[in-house]
Structure 1
Amino acid sequence: VARHLLARGAEVQVFLAAPSEKVTGDSRINHDAYVDLGGALIELPPGAPLTPLEAALAEADIVVDALFGTGLDRPIEGHLADVIGVLNTATCLCIALDVPSGLDADSGAPLGAAVQADETVTFGHLKIGLLTPEGARLAGNVHVVDLGVPDRPILAQVGHVAEVIRKETIGAYLRPREASVYKHQAGNVLVIAGSSGKLGAALLTARAAMRTGAGLVTICTWADAAPAMESRVVELMTTAIDPAHLEASLDRALAGRRAVAIGPGFGLDERARAAVDHVVLGWDGLKVVDADALTHFVGRPEALATARGSLILTPHSGELGRLLGRSSRAIEEDRFGAVREAVALTRATVLLKGARTVIAIPDGRMFICMAGNPALATAGSGDVLTGMIAALLCSMEPAAAASAGVLIHALAGDVWRAQTGSDRGLLASEIAELVPGLIAALAAGVDPLSA
């Protein structure tokens, strides 16, 4: 990079964080070519003062971070950590090559010190570590540069770890409906959610399912909460769970349903646990398991592997941490490893929510959502996503429904931010209101953010 910049007339200084005699291979060839062109080179071996670097950064327009690449597998400490510390205090634009130095290219976790870049130029394809919340924060804007080699031989040789969810892919899933479709064909969803004082979660889930295209949505909640629920619904139906005849009342509610969403605001007492076990483990259908329903499997996540039917689990990092017996921070430090572990343990499709939501499915595939913004960090946002996925399950296989739900939900946040200019203040109910327009745009092949 320095050699090409010098040849194009830029004023360039190179700082080596080690003695130049340790530079070998292709790096040595380019080192010598740069020096032969008259390039300025300053060595900063361990123990050397960093004041020359500080002085150069104070005058520079751009600093290029090329300390480490994707092969880093140890924490950065000592002298090199000090160098990175100086880079991170600079006020000029920082551009990282491939990945910011110090970022684990596989997990997205910082290995000790890590460069905070403004822009990252990565080669060939995205590195999975750039697609985590922490990786995205450290990388800034990411640009993928073609290596001039066709994708097919590269992928045939090294494979790929995950796929980015693309608008074009989701648009292809959203087929126009036949003119003769009726409400049961459009999708019959049961939302098992809500309890006294927590009715909002059930309403958000159910209304999101309606806005995503379900033709009939019924809220199934506790008998002591049902009267209050009935006074707040118009398009939705309700049915009550009788604790004295719990399984029978649940079976009546489940009859004829295409998909079930269970968990939001449902409760954590023994009657709720019995209801969750009956539905999640015993009902042979399509289920989205969220919130309180997930918490009932803390200490026994392997029970989910025995469930009849198909499961989509939708934890955030705290919920997944409780399922796997570790902290939320530990999950965030290796989101990909954690979600793979959860799939192996539960044999379910697992959707780890958050910035850069990750979806992993039992056949080994993994999908990552690049859309979304901090406005989606609002109470009830996850309940809306649960309802959306349940509705989409009525017409799609689980991996497609999870991917479509996640992308549409994230795009709703991006459209709202584009309309308001704000990264805060979004209400969960507003997410659902944007869904029909997003579905129409994606189905027509139109980018909602450019429409």
Structure 2
Amino acid sequence: MVEVREWSRADTIPFLRNPSPADDKYSRGVVALRTGSAAYPGAAVLGVEAAWRAGAGYVRHVGAGRAADAVIARRPETVTGSDTGGTRIGAWVIGSGTDADGRSADERAALHDILAGRVPVVVDAGALDLAAGADAPILVTPHAGELARLRGQLRLESTEDRASAAAETAARLGGTVLLKGAQTLIASPDGAIITVEAATGWMATAGTGDVLAGILGALIAANPDAPLAETAAAGAWLHGYAGRVAAGMTQDDSRHGHPIVAMDVAEALPRAIADLLL
């Protein structure tokens, strides 16, 4: 029988903390993102914004062109460029706002190098096809359609049971799967499942997945010793709660809320975190 755990507000709080006088930008967590493209530069902006707003001490965007220009225009404190140098990266985020069909040989090699390393990697969107065989600890973040394609690549039979599909995929990959949806499922390679239901339907809008990827990178970098599945659950819960805050809703659904865009969710993260840390 698959072990299923429902994640809560109380479970999320330990993954957040007020910085102490002894903290510096590195101890608060260093996130590097290789995201965005000429076609989708906004994905890079949203992920970088979310990483900063979720509490990262140092955010690096690795890329060039429209995506890098858009990142700097929005968040000038971000370090950009292809050379990560001696930066002590705590988590990578790759794939958001990219398309595998348009990937160059150099980009493929760079992504393979990241996935061959030891630093945890959030694998999103256009990089999901590279997840199989990764040496790094990986957290893949597909929606339903992307999971179906990934399962096809892994030669797994189709199934309508979301929990079984996520668990089976995690086992085959040897990594953690975060299956996005109205109910988010996080599956560990050992078959354990965590469910997260903190979100609102107003978050069903373009770009919120890019925000989630940035949040996940920030929390993974800030919690290097925590189980990846639990950190992913905390990130998903925080993402949903920030969406509720942005939509003007309370935690208990006493209000219907209002339409939001993805940047609203990223900008609501500090308020959501402040509420959790009270």
TM-score (norm 1): 0.55
- Residue 325 of structure 1, CA deviation: 1.5
In 2, are the aligned partners of 1:220 and 1:253 still within 8 Å (CA)? no
Paired with 2:60 and 2:147, the residues of 1 have a C-alpha distance of 28
SS of equivalent to 2:139: strand
1:289 matches 2:123: yes
Runs of 4+ in 1 over 3 A off after TM superposition: 222-233, 252-255, 416-424
Provide the aligned length of Structure 1 versus Structure 2: 264
SS of equivalent to 2:26: helix
- Residue 174 of structure 1, CA deviation: 2.3
Aligned to 1:136: none
1:192 matches 2:34: yes
Residues 363 and 395 from structure 1, CA distance in 2 versus in 1: closer, same or farther, beyond 3 angstroms? farther
Paired with 2:8 and 2:249, the residues of 1 have a C-alpha distance of 22
- Residue 372 of structure 1, CA deviation: 1.3
Query: Radius of gyration: which is bigger?
Result: 1
Whichever residue aligns with residue 16 of structure 2, its letter is: L
In 2, are the aligned partners of 1:375 and 1:422 still within 8 Å (CA)? no
Aligned to 1:176: 18
Paired with 1:267 and 1:275, the residues of 2 have a C-alpha distance of 15
- Residue 423 of structure 1, CA deviation: 5.9
Aligned to 1:258: 90
1:406 matches 2:240: no
Percent identical: 36
Residues 293 and 419 from structure 1, CA distance in 2 versus in 1: closer, same or farther, beyond 3 angstroms? same
- Residue 338 of structure 1, CA deviation: 0.5
Aligned to 1:388: 215
Aligned to 1:279: 114
Unaligned runs of 5+ in 2: none
Paired with 2:72 and 2:53, the residues of 1 have a C-alpha distance of 19
SS of equivalent to 1:169: helix
Paired with 1:218 and 1:175, the residues of 2 have a C-alpha distance of 22
Residues 384 and 224 from structure 1, CA distance in 2 versus in 1: closer, same or farther, beyond 3 angstroms? closer
SS of equivalent to 1:364: coil
Deviations 1:359-405 (A, max 9, x none): 01123321001221211111110000000010001222212220111
Whichever residue aligns with residue 109 of structure 2, its letter is: A
Aligned to 1:312: 139
Out of 247, 256, 265, the position equivalent to 1:417 is 247
Paired with 2:161 and 2:257, the residues of 1 have a C-alpha distance of 26
In 1, are the aligned partners of 2:53 and 2:270 still within 8 Å (CA)? yes
Instruction: Map 1:221-236 onto structure 2 (within 5 A).
Output: 221-222=63-64, 226-227=68-69, 229-236=71-78
Instruction: Map 1:432-447 onto structure 2 (within 5 A).
Output: 432-444=266-278
The 10-residue stretch of structure 1 (221-230 or 407-416) with the greater mean CA deviation from structure 2:
221-230
SS of equivalent to 1:394: helix
- Residue 254 of structure 1, CA deviation: 7.6
- Residue 352 of structure 1, CA deviation: 0.2
Instruction: Map 1:135-174 onto structure 2 (within 5 A).
Output: 161-174=3-16
Paired with 2:25 and 2:98, the residues of 1 have a C-alpha distance of 26
TM-score (norm 2): 0.86
Paired with 2:98 and 2:117, the residues of 1 have a C-alpha distance of 18
Paired with 1:209 and 1:230, the residues of 2 have a C-alpha distance of 14
In 1, are the aligned partners of 2:185 and 2:195 still within 8 Å (CA)? yes
Whichever residue aligns with residue 443 of structure 1, its letter is: L
Residues 323 and 253 from structure 1, CA distance in 2 versus in 1: closer, same or farther, beyond 3 angstroms? farther
1:337 matches 2:179: no
Aligned to 1:355: 182
Instruction: Map 1:81-92 onto structure 2 (within 5 A).
Output: none
In 1, are the aligned partners of 2:123 and 2:141 still within 8 Å (CA)? yes
- Residue 166 of structure 1, CA deviation: 1.1
Paired with 2:167 and 2:86, the residues of 1 have a C-alpha distance of 30
- Residue 186 of structure 1, CA deviation: 0.8
- Residue 213 of structure 1, CA deviation: 0.4
In 2, are the aligned partners of 1:288 and 1:312 still within 8 Å (CA)? yes
1:237 matches 2:237: no
- Residue 337 of structure 1, CA deviation: 0.9
Residues 228 and 428 from structure 1, CA distance in 2 versus in 1: closer, same or farther, beyond 3 angstroms? closer
Residues 320 and 160 from structure 1, CA distance in 2 versus in 1: closer, same or farther, beyond 3 angstroms? closer
- Residue 422 of structure 1, CA deviation: 5.2
Whichever residue aligns with residue 89 of structure 2, its letter is: R
Aligned to 1:57: none
Paired with 1:212 and 1:348, the residues of 2 have a C-alpha distance of 23
Deviations 1:139-163 (A, max 9, x none): xxxxxxxxxxxxxxxxxxxx77301
The 10-residue stretch of structure 1 (229-238 or 429-438) with the greater mean CA deviation from structure 2:
229-238
- Residue 228 of structure 1, CA deviation: 5.3
SS of equivalent to 2:81: strand
Deviations 1:325-352 (A, max 9, x none): 29xxx55x21011001111110101100
